[in-house]
Amino acid sequence: MRAAHRYLLFYKPYGVLSQFTPEPGSRHQCLGDFVKVPDVYPAGRLDGDSEGLVLLTSDGDLQHVLTDPRYGHPRTYWVQVEGIPGREALDRLRRGGMMIQGYFTRPAAAHLMEAEPDLPQRHPPIRMRKEIPTAWLELTLTEGRNRQVRRMTAATGYPTLRLVRAAIGPVTLAGMMPGGWRDLHPEEVEALRAGLAPGTVRSLPRRKRGSGASR
């Protein structure tokens, strides 16, 4: 009898590669250092210098839905940028149509977060310039091209300092810590199958600017 499929949520720390085997000669950790579950594979990648939610599954059909851009799966990111983006920069992100490496971006949901998310300290910490303020954006994209978020914020004049994927559709990082993983609840799997309806992203607690949570 065939074993049931597994569906996992992993909170990828900074510097960890989204693959189970390390590159030859690489000093970076990979998924296999944290998740000891056989026959599951990442449904989409997250760059080594990014953090946050990675879905792992043995279900090839769901993996296809999550990675094929035709399905327009929403992915929400919390992005710390250098400088304070104004309305013009946010409107550029929202409209889409930004030319990045030969393709035009789709419209995105983008807003300036009133308070920074209460995230664990990144190791190593980001490099900051005291004379330049930073801000946090929440971006929701329906595509996931290589380093797209970083290229989009850079194109508006606000380079990304820290990038955390907070949600894929209805599945969020709430209650998780870097390096931890859990099985998805059945209702989360069904919500993903139903088309990744974003609903309301259940954000982690946020704290006021200047609290030093991620600085």
Q: Which residues, in sequence order, are CB contacts of 184 under 8 Å at separation 6+?
A: 7, 8, 9, 55, 171, 192
Is 47 among the residues known to form the active site? yes
Region of residue 160 (left: phi > 0; alpha: psi -120 to 50; beta: else): beta
CB 42 within 8 A of CB 31: yes
Task: With H, G, I as helix, E, B as strand and everything else as coil, classify residue 191.
Answer: helix
51 membership: H or E segment, kind and range: strand 51-57
End-to-end CA distance of the chain: 51
Q: Which residues, in sequence order, are CB contacts of 121 under 8 Å at separation 6+?
A: 213, 214
CA distance 2 to 72: 31
Residue type at 182?
R
Give me the catalytic one of 47, 59, 61, 183.
47
Q: Which of the residues are catalytic?
A: 47
